[in-house]
Amino acid sequence: MPDINAGIRNNESGMRGFVSRLDDDFVVKVPHWFRNATPKCIKENCSKGILHPNKFASVEDYYGHHIMTFDNIAIMKNATAPGTYTRVGRPFEIPYASGGFRYYTGHYLPTCANLPQESFDRLAKNFKELNQIHSGRYYYEPDTENPNNFLIFNGQFRIVDDLDPIPIEEPNNLSTMVKPLLIKIATEEEAEFMPELVPMRKEILRKSIIAATRNDLPQPQSYSEEAFIDRAIELAGLEKDALEIKNAMNEKSIGKIEEIFR
């Protein structure tokens, strides 16, 4: 168990709860309506906690698993310590107009665009693993509406928050990568085309497509997923259509993909 006395610091919010670092190894997530939870109260409740087996253990970079829960409080592995990290999009707590957009363009986008291909490959590999896990006909997908459910730590993407069950086989594909990384800035906030952001977005899209191809992620399964990919192509300033990219992906031709991005 984490040392609760290490104190709670760096509260980070989502729609549902706030997450506090307990120590380098663990964080605690407390629902907003339970805000009066103090470290003392958490400590007292730990003995009442229930341990949960991790169904998603094979998804290496998924940190949203509730190791233990008690009274709606959940203990999870810490995805971001020790060290600095980047939240994908703009942080939920920093409004768009007062620093959020600056974080998105000046911090998130360059950090993400400069990650090596291996980081994207690894994210795609996580999705491939996740696509294998199901309970009956329910498969799982990360919550891509809120890009903050993806973090960049130590050159790696890490996924947090609950995974959503969905009655579709192998639901994770290229759109699961580009939606948080390129389309969303925050929940209910979508990216706009800006010429000055094209070079960074192009890099993110190129590396995502190569990663999805190398890891044999399935093709998108719905019009809305296809629409996300079309939108990502626009944001990246490519004058190509999705079909050309889809064909290159089907042929598994990294050469052709590189050609499209030249």
Q: How many residues in total does the chain contain?
A: 262
Site string for ligand ADP, 149-188 (x = CB under 6 A): x-x--------xx---------------------------
Show the 3-state SS of 200-237: HHHHHHHHHHHHHHHCCCCCCCCHHHHHHHHHHHHHCC
Nearest distance in Å: CB 15, ligand ADP? 5
Nearest distance in Å: CB 34, ligand ADP? 12
Q: Does 141 bind ligand ADP (CB under 6 A)?
A: no
Site string for ligand ADP, 5-44 (x = CB under 6 A): -------x-xxxx-x-------x-x---------------
Which one among 14, 89, 100, 180 touches Mg ion, defined by CB under 5 A? 14
The stretch among 30-38, 76-84, 145-153, 204-212 that binds Mg ion (CB under 5 A) is 145-153
Nearest distance in Å: CB 22, ligand ADP? 10
Helix (H) or strand (E) segment spanning residue 111? helix 109-113
Instruction: Give the interface size with ligand ADP as a residue count (CB under 6 A).
Output: 21
Q: Which of 120, 132, 149, 118 is nearest to 218 (CA)?
A: 132
Nearest distance in Å: CB 30, Mg ion? 14
129 to each of 24, 46, 88, 156, 172, how far by Cα in Å?
26, 31, 21, 16, 10
Give me the residue label for tokens 């290490």. 6
CB nearer to ligand ADP: pick between 27 and 229: 27
Give me the residue label for tokens 């130590």. 154
* Exposed/middle/buried for residue 255 (C-beta within 10 Å: 0-12, 13-18, 19+): exposed
Give me the residue label for tokens 């719905």. 222
Q: Does 149 bind Mg ion (CB under 5 A)?
A: yes
Which one among 42, 78, 120, 249 touches ligand ADP, defined by CB under 6 A? 78
Binding site for Mg ion (CB under 5 A): 14, 146, 149, 161
